[in-house]
Copies of this chain bind each other. A is one copy, B any other.
């Protein structure tokens, strides 16, 4: 069956994925942390059950629509880890009537809006910016944080839960030590807040896969929300969060043309399958995906230097070291290990397990 793949297909190694989930669940237990995995990576009710089997009851999502999808599939405790989009208040109100929903705020204005518009209770986390500078409040801005907590307290519909951060600047790290430094700096800032606002008994929720994979000191944190670790990818392997052998997904692509003079093949597999995310190796070479040999049963990752070097809409250009060039011919299949598995999964919208089972995802959250 796998030998008959016709078009770019996202293969999922169930055993690897289950092992990644189990390892993280055990780590959370060992450190007395609430394990609230981020489901934006897989976006699949079926894969969600694999987490449930490891005792997971609370999850994280990145949009109201994703919360609706997982609520429909029986998840009763969901944090939407994205600043409240007040334009979706009617959908939010439908959710708070059904499940335990946690929302993210970072301004008194949005809290005031919720005070006047929420129709059932919601938990509220304040988003803290510990260095990524994407969203969140500066942890040194205690006046603003106090103002927001006060506003939350004025509403009987909002229950202050604590402080949440995503130290996503670990993704750019090139080694484990850099990740651990960012992780510690982030936790120290959060610990300062926990101390400053101890009367409210705030939970401290942290998130990123690199920190959660590598760190062995979570003192100060109450909850972890990693997501990518279920699959991992080349970006994580490069940062040292995982070994290449732990990566649980590979995009299988038909080879459609070959160029021996430049040791390149063209595959049916481009930006609409892999995304345009890339990494740059220490030698300066950019990669849009690492090449692996696919024997019809599993994939075997080739060494650095065997890469998708560019992508357009449907095309991927693959450059191989000479010794591997002849492993592929037009009409054959090639495996590509994604740079960023979350985006690749989102684009493909379906998994095929190594044992031949199709697993569906939520449909587009764009309409």
Residues of A that sit less than 8 Å from B by CB: 5-8, 40, 62-63, 65, 82-88, 91, 106-107, 109-110, 113, 133-135, 168, 254, 256-258, 262, 266, 268, 271-273, 275-277, 310, 312-315, 317, 329-331, 342-343, 346-350, 364-367
Contacts and interface: CB of A to CB of B under 8 A. Distances in A.
A364 B342 CA distance: 17
Contact of A314 (B7, B63, B168, B349): B63
A87 B331 contact: yes
Given A40-B313, A313-B342, 17 more contacts: A6-B87, A7-B65, A63-B268, A82-B256, A82-B268, A82-B315, A83-B256, A85-B254, A85-B256, A86-B330, A87-B331, A107-B257, A134-B310, A135-B256, A135-B257, A349-B364, A349-B366
A188 to B, nearest CB: 22
A324 B107 CA distance: 20
Contacts of A258: 107
B346 A366 contact: no
A5 B109 CA distance: 20
Contact of A135 (B106, B168, B266): B266
Contacts of A85: 6-7, 254, 256, 268
Contacts of A317: 134
B314 A254 contact: no
Contacts of A62: 313-314
A262 B315 CA distance: 38
24 contacts: A6-B87, A8-B366, A63-B268, A63-B314, A82-B268, A83-B256, A85-B268, A86-B331, A106-B257, A107-B258, A110-B330, A113-B331, A134-B312, A135-B315, A271-B275, A271-B343, A272-B346, A272-B365, A275-B276, A313-B343, A348-B364, A348-B366, A349-B366, A350-B366
Contacts of A367: 348-350
A262 B136 CA distance: 13
Contact of A313 (B106, B331, B346): B346
Contacts of A256: 82-85, 135
Nearest to A352: B367
A326 to B, nearest CB: 14
Contacts of A347: 347, 366
A312 to B, nearest CB: 7
Contact of A107 (B63, B84, B330): B330
A233 to B, nearest CB: 13
A348 to B, nearest CB: 5
A152 B302 CA distance: 36
A74 B8 CA distance: 27
A216 to B, nearest CB: 27
Contacts of A312: 134, 168
A276 B277 contact: yes
Contacts of A266: 83, 134-135
A312 B277 CA distance: 10
Contacts of A348: 364, 366-367
B87 A254 contact: yes
A242 B258 CA distance: 35
Nearest to A333: B87
Contacts of A343: 271-272, 276, 313
Among A83, A257, A277, A329, the one with the most B-chain Cβ atoms within 10 Å of its Cβ is A257
A342 B314 CA distance: 11
A204 B331 CA distance: 27
